[in-house]
Amino acid sequence: MNVLVINCGSSSLKFQLINSDTEAVLAKGLCERIGIDGRLTYQPAGGEKKTEDKAMPTHTEAIQFVIDALTDAERGVVKSLEEIGAVGHRVVHGGEKFASSVVITEEVKKAIEECNDLAPLHNPANLIGIDACEKLMPGTPMVAVFDTAFHQTMPDTAYMYGLPYEYYDKYKVRRYGFHGTSHSFVSKRVAEFLGKPYDATRTIVCHLGNGSSICAVKNGKSVDTSMGLTPLEGLVMGTRSGDIDPAIMEFIAKKEGLDIAGLMNVLNKKSGVEGVSGVSSDFRDLANAAAEGNKRAELALEMFAYRVAKYVGSYAAAMNGVDNIVFTAGIGENDGQTRARICSYLGYLGIEIDAEANGKRGEEIVISTPDSKVTVLVIPTNEELAIARETVALV
Ligand code: ADP
């Protein structure tokens, strides 16, 4: 079956058409600037990537262009919509309502809408994408795959905050965690790759990209993760602060004359390694700047590694030990220097890194030595494939 995987943002939409039998990507692309002017990038497998301006006042036009491109006589990869058996939608927040993926019904859409408060930038956009697909592909089954679902197995000791309990009762303020599709896919793959039973291994997944999070996966279940009610908590990220003393907010608000929206903008968009370095949120730029002697770029890189290492230590404690540590996503898969920095804090766990293996990029590989007490690996994540698999399993 061919599955169309849709990741819809407020003004953009990423898509992939995946053949679920071969797991091959037949075509992929991106609609950008929806509601502004509109731009479609489309690439069939083995073909050229092309970008064209297309008027996209709403997501419905964007999806129509995606369908037109996929079924185009020349550059298309299917003859008609009939050859698309299902659509898998990435949905950011499923709150406590969704502990797994679901077939989308009117009831499910209502429940997703009820989580809008928890992800005001993402869930409404995800719903718009679902509505647009339903309009243009009536009768095609659709599945919602949630970023939060995998973490619903966390115990209350891990997901509750030290706040008045009534905020949980009234508003469901708790840790939810994100990147669940990636943490689940990668931790499963580690077990497969090493030939170990998934339900009897302790793995720490370091998903290090522009947004970064860590997850403790014990016997196949997420037992803790570094992102919280929102993706702001945890690691120092590209532009997000991660953990800070909450009292800093009042202090800075008074000094800088900022309101809550202004503060949140600083913490989400002007902080992290970009805020510390004043250089960039991109680790390639930071590495170049640090190599040229930029001290703040060097500081940002070391702070990033140190925070990751602290979380690894706390999750080793949470699981009473750790068997595997795995790096994934843009930084985790490509940046051997950052992996080495992180692992330099982990000698106490008996970790030894094989420098040559760690020098490789973008492939599934064990980067620890045979003597290392914990197996350290790089496993590329593939959220689209994970969504396609979940979709097929449900339809
Ligand atoms: P997201 O999906 O959160 O947008 P990605 O997982 O694609 O992010 O990661 C993007 C980040 O990965 C970039 O900002 C950059 O810091 C980092 N990155 C990508 N390629 C490399 C590389 N070759 N070396 C170092 N860092 C890289």
Give a yes or no: residue 191 inside a domain.
no
Structural domain includes residue 162: no
Q: Which tokens is 243 given?
A: 């953990």
Asked whether the predicted pLDDT for residue 98 surpasses 80, the reply is yes
329 Cα nearest atom in ligand 1:
6
- Position 217 confidence tier, pLDDT thresholds 50, 70, 90: very high
Ligand 1 atom with the smallest distance to the CA of 338 is 25
Calculate how far, in angstroms, residue 382's C-alpha sits from the geometric centre of ligand 1. Answer: 14
Shared domain for 105 and 8, answered yes or no, is yes
- Report the alpha-carbon distance of residue 330 to residue 286 in Å, rounded: 14
Tell me how far the alpha carbon of residue 83 lies from the centroid of ligand 1, in angstroms: 34
Task: Supply the CATH number for residue 63's domain.
Answer: 3.30.420.40
CA of 211 to the centre of ligand 1 (A): 9
| Residue with CA closest to ligand 1 atom 12 | 330
Average pLDDT over residues 163-188: 97
Of 335, 337, 361, 379, the one to substitute when testing ligand 1's pocket (max ligand atoms within 8 A of C-beta) is 335
How far, CA to CA in Å, does 334 sit from each of 124, 300, 356, 359?
33, 18, 14, 9
From residue 376, alpha-carbon distances to 115, 154, 339 in Å are 36, 24, 10
- Based on the fold, state whether residues 201 and 123 are members of the same structural domain: no
User: Does residue 205 sit in the same domain as residue 342?
Assistant: yes
Residue with the two structure tokens 């202090």:
251
Average pLDDT over residues 39-68: 96
pLDDT at 362 over 80: no
Residue 301 CA to ligand 1 centre (angstroms): 14
- What's residue 307's pLDDT? 98
For 293, the token pair is: 């002697």
354 and 213 both lie in a single domain? yes
Same domain, 8 and 67: yes
* Average pLDDT estimate for 156-174: 98
Q: How far apart are CA 12 and CA 16, in angstroms?
A: 14
Q: What is the 239 CA–ligand 1 centroid distance (Å)?
A: 13
**Percent of the chain beyond pLDDT 90?**
97
Does one domain contain both 244 and 128? no
In the numeric block, the tokens 């570094």 are attached to: 226
Asked if residue 385 belongs to a domain, the reply is no
Share of the chain above pLDDT 70, in %: 100
Going by alpha carbons, the residue nearest to atom 13 of ligand 1 is: 282
The Cα 283–Cα 301 span in angstroms is 8
Average pLDDT score over the chain: 97
**Would residue 122 count as lying in a domain?**
yes
Q: Catalytic: which of 21, 147, 224, 259?
A: 147
Mean pLDDT, range 10-31, rounded to an integer: 96
Q: From atom 19 of ligand 1, which residue's Cα is the shortest distance away?
A: 330
First-to-last alpha carbon distance for the chain, in angstroms, is 10
pTM score of the predicted model: 0.95
Residue of 208, 210, 378, 379 to mutate, ligand 1, most atoms within 8 A of C-beta: 210
Q: Closest ligand 1 atom, CA of 285?
A: 16
pLDDT of residue 10: 84
CA 213 to chain centre: 8
Protein residues with CB under 6 Å of any ligand 1 atom = 209-211, 238, 281-284, 329-331, 334-335
Domain membership flag for residue 161: no
Same domain, 140 and 200: no
Give the pLDDT score at 341.
98
Reading the block at residue 259, the tokens are: 């309101």
The total domain count for the chain is 2
The pLDDT tens digits for 365-394 are 999 999 999 999 999 999 999 999 999 999
Residue 175 falls within a domain, yes or no? no
Q: Are residues 217 and 345 in the same domain?
A: yes
Backbone φ, ψ for residue 378 (5° rounding): -115, 125
pLDDT tops 90 at residue 361: no
pLDDT tens-digit map of 219-238: 999 999 999 999 999 999 99
Whether 131 and 33 share a structural domain: yes
The reply to whether 388 falls in a domain is: no
Element (H, E) at 327: strand 324-328
117 C-alpha to ligand 1 centroid (Å)? 29
Residues 210 and 330 in one domain: yes
CA distance 328 to 151: 18
Q: What is the pLDDT of residues 314-346, one digit of tens each?
A: 999 999 999 999 999 999 999 999 999 999 999
147 among known catalytic residues: yes
Same domain, 139 and 241: no
What is the reported pLDDT for 357?
Answer: 98
Q: What is the pLDDT of residue 121?
A: 84
Residue 239 shares a structural domain with residue 137: no
- SS3 for 354-392 is CHHHHCCCCCCEECECCCCCCEEEECCCCHHHHHHHHHH
Q: Is residue 244 part of a domain?
A: yes
Q: What is the extent of the structural domain holding 248?
A: 196-378
